[in-house]
Amino acid sequence: MTVANIRSQEKRIQRSERERLENRRRTSTVKTYFRRLEQALESGDQAATEAEYRALVSKIDKAAEHGALHPNNAARKKARAARLVHQSPAG
């Protein structure tokens, strides 16, 4: 239920909700891909680790491009992922 009195205000509320859900989906996807990268690292499979790392960086970049993540937050996540990959015995 909206408490808006103006039609444009109601539309803005609907749009904000759609955008919020889209941002939530993007940030959740980044977290999922981080978990997938960690699982690949634990398995010790070099090819899987590299593929997951590339996929994660792509998802982070897309989320930042669309405004779901702040650019500094995206850079921090990518640096953390790179550190995980390059410190691991498999990497």
Distance CA 22, CA 11 (A): 17
The predicted pLDDT at position 3 comes to: 82
Superfamily designation of domain 7-87: Ribosomal protein S20 (1.20.58.110)
pLDDT in tens, the chain (91 residues): 668 899 999 999 999 999 999 999 999 999 999 999 999 999 989 999 999 999 999 999 999 999 999 999 999 999 999 999 998 565 5
pTM across the whole model = 0.85
Give the Å distances, CA to CA, from 7 to 1, 14, 73, 90.
Answer: 14, 11, 35, 57
Distance CA 87, CA 84 (A): 5
Domain extents in the chain: 7-87
The predicted pLDDT at position 91 comes to: 52
